[in-house]
Amino acid sequence: MPDNFDSVREYLKQQAELFPEDFYIRGGANDSSEKVAESRPVYNPEHPPYEPPVTGKLSAYEKQIHGCKRCPLGESRTKFVFGVGDKSADLMFIGEAPGYYEDQQGEPFVGEAGQLLDKILAAIDLTREEVFIGNVLKCRPPQNRDPKKSEIEECEPYLIEQINLVQPKAIIALGRVAGNTLLKKSTSLRDLRGHTWDYHGTDLIVTYHPAALLRNKKLKRPTWEDFQKIQRNYL
Ligand code: SF4
């Protein structure tokens, strides 16, 4: 089970996601001071270089990079979380980073939020096996803290390769942090929702993270509207 500190920190992060204008966490989503300090990743020559896929196959790419230690999270993780699902899915769902259960099991979205995501997918006649589900970061940040800019810069090229291999019709970013990370923005979920963005040539939609829906049931209706639109446009 996650320790109490993990639970409290996760709760505060979700509150910040829901009420970004009203909420402040040091080191959290609204704290730009750490992000400025992190703006230049320090190159460590002992870290292995970035590896593009050698075979053009997603499963082979997972085997190729599963031992990655290009950033310090490679040392602290329990399991590398590559992502799961259809290797040629029409939809790719992308969260921020693995949490406690994902780190333990090596699979994304396996906790309560993941079960809710499965239900939402079922409502548009999909199973998790028919989409691809992953995260921007493949390894869990300690205590579920926000990803650091340096970690994103090291890890995001893997996600871009995954998208190139899967070639989805659309990417669905789950939550404000995932949306802002992929779009290189720093804005509210309200501003990110309702648009079709471009992410390296693929349509990108931003909607609420299922964990936010567990905290605030009022978000279910707008989320359902987003998913209906996704179903209409891409399925
Ligand atoms: S988070 Fe990404 S870059 Fe960092 S060690 Fe894990 S796979 Fe490698």
Order across the sheet with 197-199: list the strands.
84-85, 132-135, 91-95, 170-174, 202-207, 197-199
**What's residue 11's pLDDT?**
59
Residue nearest to atom 2 of ligand 1 (CA): 155
Domain ranges of the chain: 4-234
**What's residue 200's pLDDT?**
86
139 C-alpha to center of ligand 1: Å? Answer: 6
Q: Are 188 and 23 in contact (CB under 8 A)?
A: no
Radius of gyration of the chain, Cα coordinates, nearest whole angstrom: 17
66 C-alpha to center of ligand 1: Å? Answer: 9
List, for residues 52-105, the tens digit of each pLDDT value: 788 878 999 999 999 999 999 999 999 999 999 999 999 999 999 999 999 999
**What's residue 53's pLDDT?**
85
43 C-alpha to center of ligand 1: Å? Answer: 14
Q: Which of 70, 96, 135 has most ligand 1 atoms within 8 Å of CB, for mutation?
A: 70
**What's residue 173's pLDDT?**
98
Task: Give me the CATH code for the 4-234 domain, please.
Answer: 3.40.470.10
Give the closest residue to 92 by CA, choosing from 161, 150, 147. 161
Mean pLDDT by 10-residue block, N- to C-terminus, for the chain (235 residues)? 57 55 39 36 55 85 94 96 97 96 96 95 97 97 93 94 96 95 94 95 96 95 96 96
